[in-house]
Structure 1
Amino acid sequence: MALRETDPAEVGGYRIEDRLGSGGMGVVYLARSASGRRLAVKVVHAQYADDDEFRTRFRREVAAARQVSGAFTAPVVDADADASRPWMATLYIPGEDLGTHVRRHGPLPPPQLRELAAGLAEAIRDIHRAGMVHRDLKPANVMLAEDGPRVIDFGISRATELAAADVLTQTGRVMGTPPFMSPEQFSSPQDVGPAADVFSLGSVVAYAATGHGPFDSPSPYETAVRVVDGDAELDGVPPELLPFVQFCLEKHPKSRPSPDELLHLLREGELPDPRPAAAPAPAADAPRAPRARRRRRLLLASALGALLLTAATALTVLAVDSEPAPSAGDLPAGWQEWHKKSKDPNVDEDPIDADGPFSRCAATGRSLVCAGDDVMATRFALADGSNTWARPIDDTPDELGSGDLGTVIAARGGRAYVYGADDRTEGDANPSRYTVQALDADTGKVIWKTVTGDGQEATEPNSEQGYSVAVPEGVVAVYGAKGQQYALLDADTGEVRWKRPLPDPDSRICLLRSAAGNAYLVCQKWTDDNVTGTSFTQLDPADGRPRWTVTVAKDQDVVGQADGRLVVLNTTGTRRTITLINAASHIVTTVRMSEPQPESATPTLLNGTLYVTFPSGSVRAVAPDSGRRLWESNSTVESPGLPIASASHLYLASPSGRLAALNVRTGAVEATLQGRDDGGTADSSAPGAPPTLVGDALYVPYGIRSVYTVDMHTLRA
């Protein structure tokens, strides 16, 4: 590939001879050292060079990559994370990459295919022994050298020992190449471990055997669906390698073999005994056995949201309605401080093993209704925390069971609007019937229940994932057997008042959003694998037709509305600008932020101020109309969930319930409260539900399905 005029003559003292290629992270050059050794030098794109957080991550990962020195990888020779454009040099491996070879010559013959499978298993074994996860194993990153395959490009790898608590890890960011990604890379990227590389290994070997990936689809949307919840297309994989590929492509990470087990399989024709505990089908009475399929549906929902946002936690839209107390400064009648844990919602059947936090809570009348971790909804009395009822997400559990789902769509007028799921088995199929339900908040009685989708391709009406929103007229939800429509369900009766088709999913990925009482359809337009623009359509509640549509460049999403204008931010990469769309005139303006906000931070719009929260506990307040930073503060709250705000204070809570109150004018931390250990520790790195404020009573979800309450004036005393 010919050099360009803008290409450097040398990098780090290494003379540039040719351009090998370019990708999302940078350009790769063929270079030569003073001694004549040929090197592959990757120079990071300029857009990342100004990001201090990127440089820190790059420096750390270069150090980790130096530890990998196996015979099936390309070792790191030199690097400079402090250069004007960071770069890394690895030993140049002559030969074609696997993708190019298959396109030119077709699938590999069985002997070469077996050699490839063994070489890649050894490569990822070496990578994992060095404490790393590659996370982007794909045909383009496999070089077919004369002495066997070599794995290259550790550009998005991560040191596994730092994965759990690393504040630099970009929570929720989707990193990888969709056709070769694992299910968990779409849903919880922060938790991706070595098993993700094993899944990618299976996909790469299948590609080498057939000339196509096992989950190839025309659009990123369909690819995500197939990776997370679909069957792999393995026609053409030689019978002797079929078990190898199938074991790699197990949906649950704990069901996949290790690289050593895969090498044993290639040598002996079977996996070593005993297999890991998670791999066999557990006994019917095992407490955690029923969760696998519902977890896959959670992954599917997250994958679709991730593909639209590209980063699952990139933007935050608080779409849940919750009624405040009649007047600020009051406590609910009979209020006292309390802390409670929800009862098991499935007491009449096999108990559900609780291990997660609530995802949303909302208040109405005398009730706080919460949902999440298998709980469709549960009610705590605002006054004393009495947990009077709880309903499971799946009303008819079977051997497939349920998973970490459930969220409150809205709570108002004494009702809680939630969604339900009904798993069942029909022959070899496992379809689900999804419903939106209105529950009496005091009693839990079902007022109405409307089916929104029925079948294997139905879409879960989960507001967390952007598939339902509350508006004054009712609930707008994705609708139909294949989730190809959206419909308004009447708030009082649940009747479908209208339904409209969604845009073509082959070229657009759409989610429902709400702001200032209006429903919006936010659609990203895809060309090949790139987002070329995002449209924002306000829906008419009378018939669902577009009132107006505005299209902006690149991938963006709604954060909320302030002063009559939608506040819109990009969903991937460093955020440098704010886009404002006037909801009345539809005029679009863009303001530059006084300082860039990294993708790892989570923006939330509250009371007309944009708050940017960091995993470390830092908070920035930004004026959305000017982009000016108002203040920055350290809340002292680790891994905070979404904040809430009163007229005077911003409240943040950690997964353990540690609480901080910050002055909204100055950012000063005016009160803190230690976390609690009586709620248990949730088996999840994701923050739980944000606090709920009812008058002067603050309700803080924490731990496993637990809530405590505190008088915010006493807290600040």
Structure 2
Amino acid sequence: MALRETDPTEVGGYRIEDRLGSGGMGVVYLARSASGRRLALKIVHAQYADDDEFRTRFRREVAAARQVSGAFTAPVVDADADASRPWMATLYIPGEDLGTHVRRHGPLPLPRLRELAAGLAEAIRDIHRAGMVHRDLKPANVMLAEDGPRVIDFGISRATEFAASDVLTQTGRVMGTPPFMSPEQFSSPQDVGPAADVFSLGSVVAYAATGRGPFDSPSPYETAVRVVDGDAELDGVPSELLPFVQFCLEKHPKSRPSPDELLHLLRNGELPDPRPAPETAPATDTPTPRRPRRRKRLLLAAALGALLLTGAGALTVLAVNSEPAPIARDLPPGWQEWHKKSKDPGVEDDPIGPDGPFSRCAATGRSLVCAGDDVLATRFALADGSNTWARPIDDTPDDVVGGDQGTVIAARGGRVYVYGADNRTEGDSDHSRYTIQALDADTGKVIWKTITGDGPESTEPSSEQGFSTAVPEGVIAVHGPKGQQYALFDAENGKVRWKRPLPDPDTQMCLLRSAARNAYLVCRDWTEDAVSGTSIAQLDPATGRPRWTVTVDKDQDIVGQADGRLVALHTTGTRRTLTLINADSHIVTTVRLSEPQPESATPTLLNGTLYVTFPSGSVRAVAPDTGRRLWDSNSTVESPGPPTASRTHLYLASPSGRLAALNLRTGTVEATLQGRDDGGTADSTGLGAPLTLVGDALYVPYGIRSVYTVDVHTLRT
């Protein structure tokens, strides 16, 4: 939809790119943040902007809406209730809305109906858990995203209402869309609660199954009457989902299931508990005369007339009746929330300058040490983020631009192991001298420094690239002027304890990996520009020789170890299997994945579970021993880096620092934290950096050489 001359070009620092639509509340635009994130930004109409009560309620509702962060909703990213025209931005969900899709393509098939029903049940469960009611769940507010349905357009409309008890008597405003409203939204708006969303859910699923609403009528007034007193028209709803829809459409709110009960019904085919019946008069021998409906219909007419004037969705804040129990914290001594940017490491005449994020951080003692973007290492205090020192990866940069970005190889015992570089031109050729270094984490003092390679064909000993790895005895890295060896550099003094030759690089490409404190050499055999197989050898730390070697098909790499077995996956193409290697018996087992994993997905093994992350933000949990999917979710985090996990939650972050916490057992997104602009926008299209968890303190690299920390318990309050 083309922009108009009167449309703004920028709102709140977000660039307006397109007009998505307009409604009773305001205009919705497609906007883009400085980091490139696409947002749906709604600017309210001017008549609301002049209403002081509106602004008060808008501010309260936005604060509540920020708590809604489930995998099937569009989370609030930013808002400003004090702007000349208040606005709110949510994550933009590409795709068609359900109403448009059904009009164009017809009703959904049964598998997609089940996915829709489950996704919407999870969405309203998350909304209710955040203390709100959507009150305008309808096909136009359900986006059919690539990874499942998303509920949109919540967190703003409640601000246009007065007190619930005055909804009709003072203002006559009733919020909703008649074919998908609940009976109580017409008859007693002041009593509307979470059960109203369940009723709307049933109507939406019936619409998706048949192409029409269960109470459709040519007249909005007759539609309202049918919602309150009529029977639902459910012909065409598949028998498998008919009980689900019927339970949702119970007239009395107390007779409807909760979202959790609906999910149980989808999984098991029955509700977990008998439903309570609505209160009725005691039975008598004399038939009770039917009450006249004139008053109810007058009420409906007034409500519907007001509704046609407003035509907006609504949110209601629910009462909180009890205080949560205090939670014990496990935080570094003196910890407080902080966000810091690293000082300049002090390189003169740097031809590039800072433009990227850290590649990795690691904690030891009282220090968080980070490296990347040509930073050898920089130290932040775990407690308050004091950035006490920073060192460049190359003290004398010139026009020679290599791939040496820097990374933390390991950190332990108050030391951090990193690699340095010296790129220079000698005669007509470019030379690189690489070193492995051990630094004191608190002071940055070099404890030892050993050259790994010096020459035009030397290889940077980066663990990110698979050319170094840490073991208890020290660091194993490529060695020699052409990177033709691998060697162990002693943890205490950096001396080379042994070195071994690598295979011919024209026939084999080898990487160094570690898992469960053991080092492995992973070599891929090249045959006519294709990988014919991969050998995986466990190295003896005393000699560097292989203790044992197994061969697996095609190109594979180690992801980690679970239950005494190495887990390996193919590195290219669609992954349909994973390989398990018993670390003691060396027996190889191939496990078929219950669903293929694309090459673009990134695997991470944590606490015995394989987590597969996608650039879109989707996350899939897989059991390595069976290949079975445990859950599938959307973190709402774009381009997430490798996740980290506590005992209860999985944490992911984007390059801009947007953070999500997922329940380890269910995959439910239980909290999010918006990204940050104070670290600058990295000139990178890569993924977020790995996170570091120290007790309950989570450290998130973001932007340009920046880090922030948060107490993970506050994410779940």
Please indicate the TM-score interval, normalised by the length of the shorter structure.
Answer: 0.5 to 0.7
Q: What is aligned with 1:465?
A: 465
> Equivalent residue of 2:704, what SS?
coil
Contact 1:474 1:489 survives alignment (8 Å):
yes
Q: Distance in 2 between matches of 1:501 and 1:466?
A: 16
Amino acid at match of 2:382: L
Q: What is aligned with 1:583?
A: 583
Q: What is aligned with 2:426?
A: 426
Q: What is aligned with 1:480?
A: 480
Contact 1:450 1:494 survives alignment (8 Å):
yes
Contact 2:639 2:688 survives alignment (8 Å):
no
Contact 2:478 2:484 survives alignment (8 Å):
yes
> Equivalent residue of 1:714, what SS?
helix
Q: Could you say if the C-alpha distance between residues 636 and 350 of structure 1 is closer, same or farther in structure 2, counting changes exceeding 3 Å?
A: closer
CA deviation map 1:58-91 (0-9, x unaligned) = xxxxxxxxxxxxxxxxxxxxxxxxxxxxxxxxxx
Q: Distance in 2 between matches of 1:388 and 1:403?
A: 27
Query: Shift of residue 425 of structure 1?
Result: 2.4
Q: What is aligned with 2:447?
A: 447
Query: Shift of residue 375 of structure 1?
Result: 0.4
Query: Shift of residue 394 of structure 1?
Result: 0.5
1:62-81 maps to which residues of 2 (within 5 A)? Answer: none
Query: Shift of residue 507 of structure 1?
Result: 1.0
Q: Distance in 2 between matches of 1:401 and 1:445?
A: 26
Contact 1:361 1:368 survives alignment (8 Å):
yes
Q: What is aligned with 2:491?
A: 491
Q: Distance in 2 between matches of 1:613 and 1:494?
A: 36
1:111-510 maps to which residues of 2 (within 5 A)? Answer: 329-346=329-346, 353-400=353-400, 405-510=405-510
> Equivalent residue of 1:652, what SS?
strand
Determine if the alignment matches structure 1 residue 688 to structure 2 residue 688.
Answer: yes
Contact 1:534 1:551 survives alignment (8 Å):
yes
> Equivalent residue of 1:522, what SS?
strand
Contact 1:346 1:352 survives alignment (8 Å):
no
Q: Distance in 2 between matches of 1:661 and 1:514?
A: 27
Q: Please list every run of 5 or more consecutive structure 1 residues that lacks an aligned counterpart in the other structure.
A: 1-165, 169-327
Contact 1:458 1:482 survives alignment (8 Å):
yes
Q: What is aligned with 2:699?
A: 699
Q: Distance in 1 between matches of 2:682 and 2:713?
A: 29
Contact 1:393 1:402 survives alignment (8 Å):
no
Determine if the alignment matches structure 1 residue 670 to structure 2 residue 670.
Answer: yes
Amino acid at match of 2:623: A
> Equivalent residue of 1:713, what SS?
helix
Q: Distance in 2 between matches of 1:404 and 1:345?
A: 15
Q: What is aligned with 1:652?
A: 652
Q: Distance in 2 between matches of 1:476 and 1:549?
A: 18
Contact 2:347 2:392 survives alignment (8 Å):
no
Q: Distance in 2 between matches of 1:653 and 1:555?
A: 29
Contact 2:359 2:407 survives alignment (8 Å):
yes
Query: Shift of residue 397 of structure 1?
Result: 2.5
Q: Could you say if the C-alpha distance between residues 445 and 640 of structure 1 is closer, same or farther in structure 2, counting changes exceeding 3 Å?
A: same
Query: Shift of residue 553 of structure 1?
Result: 1.1
Contact 1:476 1:489 survives alignment (8 Å):
yes
CA deviation map 1:263-311 (0-9, x unaligned) = xxxxxxxxxxxxxxxxxxxxxxxxxxxxxxxxxxxxxxxxxxxxxxxxx
Q: What is aligned with 1:614?
A: 614
Q: Distance in 1 between matches of 2:705 and 2:588?
A: 42
Q: Distance in 1 between matches of 2:360 and 2:439?
A: 16
Contact 1:344 1:352 survives alignment (8 Å):
no
Contact 2:507 2:525 survives alignment (8 Å):
yes
> Equivalent residue of 1:625, what SS?
coil
Amino acid at match of 2:485: Q
Q: Distance in 2 between matches of 1:376 and 1:629?
A: 39
> Equivalent residue of 2:450, what SS?
strand
Contact 1:510 1:524 survives alignment (8 Å):
yes
Amino acid at match of 2:694: V
Q: Could you say if the C-alpha distance between residues 348 and 445 of structure 1 is closer, same or farther in structure 2, counting changes exceeding 3 Å?
A: farther
Contact 1:374 1:403 survives alignment (8 Å):
no
Contact 1:681 1:704 survives alignment (8 Å):
yes
Q: Distance in 2 between matches of 1:403 and 1:471?
A: 24
Query: Shift of residue 348 of structure 1?
Result: 5.7
Q: Distance in 1 between matches of 2:350 and 2:505?
A: 39
TM-score, normalised to structure 1, is: 0.54
> Equivalent residue of 1:503, what SS?
coil
Q: Distance in 2 between matches of 1:359 and 1:329?
A: 28
Q: What is aligned with 2:563?
A: 563
Amino acid at match of 2:515: A
Determine if the alignment matches structure 1 residue 641 to structure 2 residue 641.
Answer: yes
The range that moved more, 339-348 or 364-373, is 339-348
Query: Shift of residue 689 of structure 1?
Result: 1.5
Q: Distance in 1 between matches of 2:651 and 2:507?
A: 40
1:50-129 maps to which residues of 2 (within 5 A)? Answer: none
TM-score, normalised to structure 2, is: 0.54
Q: Distance in 1 between matches of 2:704 and 2:656?
A: 9
CA deviation map 1:604-640 (0-9, x unaligned) = 1011000011111111100000001100111111111
Q: Distance in 1 between matches of 2:684 and 2:397?
A: 23
Query: Shift of residue 399 of structure 1?
Result: 4.3
Q: Which has the larger radius of gyration?
A: 2
Q: What is aligned with 1:630?
A: 630
CA deviation map 1:645-697 (0-9, x unaligned) = 11110000011101000010110111110111111110010123211000110
Query: Shift of residue 593 of structure 1?
Result: 1.1
Q: Distance in 2 between matches of 1:397 and 1:531?
A: 37
Q: Distance in 2 between matches of 1:715 and 1:680?
A: 24
Q: Could you say if the C-alpha distance between residues 558 and 167 of structure 1 is closer, same or farther in structure 2, counting changes exceeding 3 Å?
A: farther
Q: Distance in 2 between matches of 1:448 and 1:666?
A: 46
Q: Distance in 1 between matches of 2:613 and 2:692?
A: 18
Query: Shift of residue 528 of structure 1?
Result: 1.2
Q: Could you say if the C-alpha distance between residues 535 and 402 of structure 1 is closer, same or farther in structure 2, counting changes exceeding 3 Å?
A: closer
Query: Shift of residue 400 of structure 1?
Result: 3.3
> Equivalent residue of 1:463, what SS?
coil
Q: Could you say if the C-alpha distance between residues 402 and 445 of structure 1 is closer, same or farther in structure 2, counting changes exceeding 3 Å?
A: farther
Contact 1:352 1:374 survives alignment (8 Å):
no
Contact 1:394 1:402 survives alignment (8 Å):
no
Amino acid at match of 1:636: T
> Equivalent residue of 1:430, what SS?
strand
Q: Distance in 1 between matches of 2:146 and 2:633?
A: 16
> Equivalent residue of 2:714, what SS?
helix
Query: Shift of residue 424 of structure 1?
Result: 2.2
Contact 1:373 1:403 survives alignment (8 Å):
no
Q: What is aligned with 1:22?
A: none
Q: Distance in 2 between matches of 1:347 and 1:506?
A: 37
Q: Distance in 2 between matches of 1:591 and 1:403?
A: 36
> Equivalent residue of 1:464, what SS?
coil
Amino acid at match of 1:702: Y
Q: What is aligned with 1:547?
A: 547
Amino acid at match of 1:637: V
> Equivalent residue of 1:465, what SS?
coil
Q: Distance in 2 between matches of 1:433 and 1:347?
A: 17
Q: Please list every run of 5 or more consecutive structure 2 residues that lacks an aligned counterpart in the other structure.
A: 1-144, 148-327
Amino acid at match of 2:555: D
Query: Shift of residue 503 of structure 1?
Result: 1.2
Q: Distance in 2 between matches of 1:593 and 1:399?
A: 48
Query: Shift of residue 525 of structure 1?
Result: 0.6
* Length, aligned pairs only: 393
Q: Could you say if the C-alpha distance between residues 569 and 402 of structure 1 is closer, same or farther in structure 2, counting changes exceeding 3 Å?
A: closer
Contact 1:641 1:689 survives alignment (8 Å):
yes
